[in-house]
Structure 1
Amino acid sequence: MKFRPFLWLTIVSLPALLVLVGLGSWQLQRLQWKNDLISSFEARAAAPAIAVPAADAGLDDVEFRRLSLEGAFLHDREIFLTGRTYEGNAGFHVVTPFKLDDGRLILINRGWVSEDYRDPAKRSFSQINGKTSISGILRRPGVKGYFVPENEPDNGFWFTLIPGQINQHLGLDAAAINAFYADAVRTSDVVTLPIAAKTKLNLRNAHLSYALTWYGIALALIGVYIAFHYQAGRLQFKRGQKD
């Protein structure tokens, strides 16, 4: 084999190749981290329920823990998260303030409803009145994605569940918890509106596909590099000669 590499192409390609391989390896490390994180969160969700922690408590050890909540819903203050789906059907998530027995207020994401049932009058059967006990999962405030619109409280458009912003818009007092909220979870196999979350967490974990993508681009770069030199006559493979 005879190989005479182009200097400029090698100078450009080698750092790019190292970066691509590095990104792929980093994603594999992230994959292991995410798998460990999911295992930890699933263990927390399966652990016995805890009381609602103080608003200023650290959340690292209690996020995704099951909560035991006792109090009453404030249905006249509910808001709707736009752009939510359930089994491919468009709709909303119903978020309702819940007044705990100790006087604090926590937002509860009660689950999904379709456009037809957005009006509370059409789902009076789902409006739990008076004191009740519910099960929920503690969640941190949502973080707006890059392509997600800003919340428009005055127009009734909510895209990200940020308790502090919602509590302020609803005019809730200082007893409202801004540090976290709760996802209501199903306690039986019966599906009712709003359709609450399953107890099994569904955390996105696409790091393996990201790693394969970066490694694939690296292999493509190597292929282009070799093909370019071969076509330019700078890479030649000697064939065995017959006597």
Structure 2
Amino acid sequence: MDTVPERTTRLHGLVAPSLATLVCLAILLGLGFWQLARKGEKEALIARIVERSHVEPPAAPPPFDAWNARADEFGRVRVTGTFLHDRETLVHGLAPGEPGRALQGFYVLTPLRRDDGTTILINRGFVPTELKDPKNRAAGQVAGEATVTGMLRASETRGLFVPESDPKRDAWFTRDVPGIAAARGLTEVAPYLIEADATPNPGGWPRGGQLRVDLPNNHLQYAFTWFGIAACLIGVFSVFAWRRFHDPVEPKAG
């Protein structure tokens, strides 16, 4: 039977492991609850996209100074103007191809100059790498007045694993409205862009309608993963603590 000094020694030996376990447990639980919060945000976003994507008829784009990304993004709009094809920008990206396979290529962002002199960037859609050169898709370079129907999008921010765009090399990895406008010498540019819908372009390219509602929502699965790891941590520490208290003390040598 353990003596009081031995129990005290065993208890003191659990202080550091207990603190480390509590810190790790707090982190794991925090990650789990954060994923649950992200799940709610993603579901609200998907519902908002679905609701706004069915608005009929499309409305005019909001005034530039009244643009509110949270309130206006994903609204369905229609705009008329003239494409400035000589100032189009290609943004690296992927698009769905055959089942289980993605196409590598570019999104074509072309300024649309309106009659009032203002300009809105239009994401006209995707082109595969072999159609990077506009000469290979000349039929799609629509001349004269054109009308575009699509969805409002905020300027895209760069993610952690996305390369930084290099305007000097004309290498773009995000749909950066201010950056592209500055690089192309555009003035009076909308603070948003319009994602063109799936209305076919002459020649079939660019291919619009790339904005999809089926956004991945795996946050519940991620939350269960973090909570599961937390439960395993509690189990491991419980076994460790039990053995620390109940295993016989090895006699000291000598």
- Shorter-chain TM-score bucket reads 0.7 to 0.9
TM-score in terms of structure 1 length? 0.85
2:193 to 168, 181, 185: 181
Q: Residue 94 of structure 2 aligns with which residue?
A: 84
Q: Residue 27 of structure 1 aligns with which residue?
A: 35
> Mind listing any 5+ residue stretches in structure 1 that lack a counterpart?
237-243
TM-score in terms of structure 2 length? 0.81
Is the counterpart of residue 123 in structure 1 residue 123 in structure 2?
no
Is the counterpart of residue 157 in structure 1 residue 171 in structure 2?
yes
Structure 1 residues 132, 12: closer, same or farther in 2, change over 3 A? same
Tell me, what secondary structure is at the counterpart of 2:65?
coil
Task: Give how far 1:198 is off.
Answer: 4.6
Task: Give how far 1:105 is off.
Answer: 0.6
Q: Residue 232 of structure 2 aligns with which residue?
A: 220
Q: Residue 15 of structure 1 aligns with which residue?
A: 23
> Mind listing any 5+ residue stretches in structure 2 that lack a counterpart?
1-9, 248-254
Is the counterpart of residue 72 in structure 1 residue 82 in structure 2?
yes
Tell me, what secondary structure is at the counterpart of 1:56?
helix
| RMSD between superposed Cα atoms in Å | 2.4
Tell me, what secondary structure is at the counterpart of 1:11?
helix
Letter in 2 for 1:209: Q
Is the counterpart of residue 208 in structure 1 residue 217 in structure 2?
no
Task: Give how far 1:191 is off.
Answer: 9.7
Q: Residue 51 of structure 1 aligns with which residue?
A: 60
Task: Give how far 1:80 is off.
Answer: 0.4
Aligned residues: 230
Q: Residue 240 of structure 1 aligns with which residue?
A: none
Encode CA deviations 1:106-135: one digit per residue, 9 max, x unaligned: 111111111111111111121111112111
Q: Which moved more, 1:124-133 or 1:193-202?
A: 193-202
Separation (CA, whole Å) in 1 of partners of 2:141 and 2:147: 14
Structure 1 residues 8, 121: closer, same or farther in 2, change over 3 A? same
Letter in 2 for 1:205: N
Tell me, what secondary structure is at the counterpart of 2:109?
strand
Asked whether the equivalents of residues 45 and 199 of structure 1 are also in contact (C-alpha less than 8 Å), the reply is no
Tell me, what secondary structure is at the counterpart of 2:27?
helix
Bigger radius of gyration, 1 or 2?
A: 2
Moved over 4 A (4+): none
Tell me, what secondary structure is at the counterpart of 2:108?
strand
Separation (CA, whole Å) in 2 of partners of 1:34 and 1:54: 27
Letter in 1 for 2:196: A
Tell me, what secondary structure is at the counterpart of 1:53?
coil
Q: Residue 3 of structure 2 aligns with which residue?
A: none
Task: Give how far 1:210 is off.
Answer: 2.6
Letter in 2 for 1:139: R
Encode CA deviations 1:177-225: one digit per residue, 9 max, x unaligned: 2x1111111137x992112125642434332233123112212212321
Question: Identity of paired residues, percent?
Answer: 37
Letter in 1 for 2:60: A
Separation (CA, whole Å) in 2 of partners of 1:114 and 1:170: 23
Task: Give how far 1:228 is off.
Answer: 2.9
Q: Residue 171 of structure 1 aligns with which residue?
A: 185
